[in-house]
């Protein structure tokens, strides 16, 4: 048990690359072949990065703007994404099975935005296997007294099941209403996911983000959060990648954009080609005009 009166905040994270690393995905050298194969479908071997397109929002908020008809709004974007993140009902009903893209399957479910979030249960790993998922995504609500233990237990059970099936787990850090969205909080939440076996962590960008990425031994992808003007969203991606993120798992800033196909291509250019936000914004405008 830690001495709670002597919690010393870490400060020495170093800019040195991770040691003993030959595989293109951080922290994955010692994984089994099947895990590496699935992670390589998500993170491009040529860049080590990923553009995941998130459209799982309806599992807690119903048909939000941009996701009224996933068959119409998301299907045209599939070819620009490296990985599709959605809930099983929408994957089965609305995503063509011949898309041949990595699937990150939302694999916990529970309460809606109308009640208290995060009292989630796990979906059977067998369904992830049936859907040929390349990863499963599980929420962790660190710092929320009511649901922290339930959601961390979900991460642990998902990792146990994922290890047996060779399916990586992505820990998704949910931010409680009272939590400060700062590097200290996101480092704690991300590190807890990784320490408990998550192979990828999805979190939010914040000031001092380098601390979050450097103290997490596995790849971090950022959520986009609420819809921003396109230039701001591209700047968010640029800063996150340059502060050590391995990609994005972005939803609203793509599918709620005035030109979603142009936006996801511009995001991909930032992630994979390290375009600056201003150059990527020009690209967005050129593609939008076509």
Interface residues toward ligand 5RP, by CB under 6 A: 54, 56-57, 85, 172, 223-225, 249-253
User: What six digits make up the tokens of 109?
Assistant: 């479910």
Smallest separation (angstroms) from ligand 5RP to the CB of 76: 18
Smallest separation (angstroms) from ligand 5RP to the CB of 50: 13
Number of neighbours of residue 18 by Cβ within 10 angstroms: 11
Nearer to ligand 5RP among residue 31 and residue 250 (C-beta)? 250
The answer to whether 104 and 83 are in contact (CB under 8 A) is yes
Which one from 36, 101, 202, 211 is the annotated catalytic residue?
Answer: 202
In angstroms, rounded to a whole number, what is the distance separating the alpha carbons of residues 196 and 265?
Answer: 34
Nearer to ligand 5RP among residue 86 and residue 244 (C-beta)? 86
Nearer to ligand 5RP among residue 223 and residue 271 (C-beta)? 223
Nearer to ligand 5RP among residue 23 and residue 196 (C-beta)? 196
Nearer to ligand 5RP among residue 24 and residue 261 (C-beta)? 261
Q: Is 202 one of the annotated active-site residues of the chain? A: yes
- Structure-token match 């807690």, residue found: 60
Smallest separation (angstroms) from ligand 5RP to the CB of 15: 28
φ/ψ (deg, to 5) at 201? -125, 135
In angstroms, rounded to a whole number, what is the distance separating the alpha carbons of residues 76 and 74?
Answer: 6
Q: Which residues of 76-112 are buried (b: 16+ CB within 10 A; e: fewer)?
A: ebeebbbbbbbbbebbeebbeeeeebbbbbbbbebee
CA angle 17/23/24 to nearest 5° reads 70
Smallest separation (angstroms) from ligand 5RP to the CB of 2: 29
Smallest separation (angstroms) from ligand 5RP to the CB of 177: 15
Helices (H), the chain: 33-42, 58-61, 70-73, 88-94, 125-130, 148-165, 183-195, 209-214, 230-242, 252-255, 260-273, 277-289
φ/ψ (deg, to 5) at 269? -65, -35
Dihedral sign from CA coordinates of 228, 139, 134, 238: positive
Catalytic residues: 202
């Amino acid at each position: 048990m830690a001495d709670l009166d002597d919690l010393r905040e870490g400060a020495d994270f170093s800019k040195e690359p991770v040691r003993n690393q030959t595989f293109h995905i951080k922290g994955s050298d010692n994984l089994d072949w099947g895990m590496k194969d699935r992670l390589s479908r998500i993170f491009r071997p040529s860049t080590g990065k990923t553009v995941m397109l998130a459209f799982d929002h309806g599992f807690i908020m119903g048909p939000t703007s941009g996701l009224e008809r996933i068959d119409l709004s998301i299907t045209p974007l599939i070819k620009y994404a490296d990985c599709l993140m959605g809930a099983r009902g929408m994957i089965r009903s609305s995503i063509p099975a011949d898309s041949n893209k990595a699937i990150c399957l939302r694999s916990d479910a529970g309460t809606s935005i109308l009640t208290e979030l995060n009292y989630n249960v796990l979906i059977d790993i067998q369904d992830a296997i049936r859907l040929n998922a390349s990863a499963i995504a599980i929420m962790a609500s660190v710092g929320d007294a009511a649901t922290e233990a339930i959601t961390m237990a979900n991460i642990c059970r998902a990792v146990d099941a994922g290890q047996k099936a060779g399916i990586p787990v992505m820990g998704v850090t949910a931010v409680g209403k009272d939590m400060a969205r700062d590097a200290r909080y996101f480092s704690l939440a991300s590190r807890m996911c990784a320490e408990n076996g998550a192979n990828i962590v999805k979190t939010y960008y914040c000031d001092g983000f380098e601390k979050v990425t450097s103290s997490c031994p596995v790849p971090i992808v950022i959520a986009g959060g609420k819809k921003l003007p396109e230039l701001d969203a591209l700047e968010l991606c640029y800063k996150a990648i340059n502060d050590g993120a391995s990609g994005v798992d972005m939803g609203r800033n793509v599918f709620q954009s005035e030109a979603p196909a142009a936006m996801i291509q511009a995001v991909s250019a930032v992630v994979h080609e390290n375009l600056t936000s201003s150059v990527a914004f020009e690209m967005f405008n050129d593609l939008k005009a076509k």
